[in-house]
Chains A and B, each alone.
Chain A
Amino acid sequence: MARVVVDVMLKPEILDPQGKAVEGALGRLGLEGITSVRQGKSFVLELDGEVDDARLAQLHELSGSLLSNPVIEDYVIREVTA
């Protein structure tokens, strides 16, 4: 069984009000020196069989269409383990 992790983050130029709210809370809880928090998503996929090139290409396509919206988000396939 293979495991694939896809991270999705808002593009840097897109305002992230959720991250701002978390930043405020971390500051109130005593974390000093915090200058920015950005909140993203992580998808952990488990698949039967191997992740060959064809399947990886398919994963990239779906990461850029379903899992992320390229207008506002970037994705990274962070981990592929067999």
Chain B
Amino acid sequence: MRIGVVTFPGSLDDRDAARAVRVAGGEAIALWHGDADLLGVDAVVLPGGFSYGDYLRCGAIARFAPVMGPLVDAANGGLPVLGICNGFQVLCESHLLPGALVRNDSLHFVCRDQRLRVESASTVWTSDYEVGQEIVVPLKNGEGGYVADDATLDMLEGEGRVVARYLELNPNGSRRDIAGISNARGNVVGLMPHPEHAIEALTGPTTDGLGFFTSILKGLVEA
């Protein structure tokens, strides 16, 4: 299974995302922001970082990168896409996911091992988890506050599209403690914390994040 990982100028976590794909048993394919070509991959990860310097708004310029043209079309057609942190911001700016991410209410950049509750196991990126399972993965963001209007939040909750919620502490002022959401079909998931940093005991606080990558690989095998 070939999982593409996009590198934008300013991406930080593309290598870790690619490594997580490999540790889970997949083949990681490097995709370049300037190439309007997905190289026939089976799924795509938009990694964390500061694409285009996060100038203007986080993800606002990346949204118009050449690779995003075919990616948006493919995602609307069902291609699995996981956006982590900056990748989540890019997915919101691209309107593949509703809402937006704004500056942390504390104004501080937050870096911590964050406890989450997985709220949905019905996306292709979370099928290896149990609903209600608690996991701990790193979180590091300055603009991670998830906002949307009440009608959108009610819709996300009503349709089971809240994928993960913050436990113990809401690190950034996200509405309703939302850490991640999916699109209606469940193929596009955005997540502010970083599962790709929690895949090996040597470098991560846990290996709880690996499930996102094993989920997609199993999903693709069964598809």
Q: Which residues on the B side are within 8 Å of A10 (C-beta)? A: 102
B100, B106, B149: which contacts A69 (Cβ < 8 A)? Answer: B100
On whether the beta carbons of A66 and B107 are closer than 8 Å, the reply is: no
A71 at the interface (CB under 8 A from B): yes
Q: Which residues on the B side are within 8 Å of A69 (C-beta)? A: 57, 60, 93, 100
| Chain B: interface size category | 20 to 34
B109 at the interface (CB under 8 A from A): no
Binds B, one of A12-20, A44-52, A53-61: A12-20
Q: A72 vs B97: C-alpha distance in the bound complex, in angstroms?
A: 14
Q: Which residues on the A side are within 8 Å of B149 (C-beta)? A: 13
Q: Which residues on the B side are within 8 Å of A13 (C-beta)? A: 149
Q: Which residues on the A side are within 8 Å of B104 (C-beta)? A: 17
**Nearest Cβ on chain B to A40's Cβ, whole angstroms:** 12
On whether the beta carbons of B106 and A17 are closer than 8 Å, the reply is: yes
In residues 31-87 of chain B, which contact A (Cβ within 8 Å)?
Answer: 56-57, 60-61, 64
Q: Which residues on the B side are within 8 Å of A2 (C-beta)? A: none
On whether the beta carbons of A15 and B105 are closer than 8 Å, the reply is: yes
B180 at the interface (CB under 8 A from A): no
Q: Which residues on the A side are within 8 Å of B57 (C-beta)? A: 69
On whether the beta carbons of A71 and B60 are closer than 8 Å, the reply is: no
Contact with A along B158-194 (1 / 0, CB 8 A): 0000000000000001000000000000000000000
**Nearest Cβ on chain A to B103's Cβ, whole angstroms:** 6
On whether the beta carbons of B107 and A15 are closer than 8 Å, the reply is: no
Q: A10 vs B103: C-alpha distance in the bound complex, in angstroms?
A: 11
Q: Which residues on the A side are within 8 Å of B153 (C-beta)? A: none
B residues near A, CB below 8 A? Answer: 56-57, 60-61, 64, 92-93, 98-100, 102-107, 145, 147-149, 173
A residues near B, CB below 8 A? Answer: 10, 13-15, 17-18, 21, 66-67, 69, 71-72
With A66-B60, A69-B57, A69-B60 already in contact, 20 other A-B pairs whose C-beta atoms are closer than 8 Å: A10-B102, A13-B149, A14-B102, A15-B105, A15-B145, A15-B147, A15-B173, A17-B103, A17-B104, A17-B105, A17-B106, A17-B107, A18-B103, A66-B56, A67-B56, A71-B98, A71-B100, A72-B100, A72-B102, A72-B147
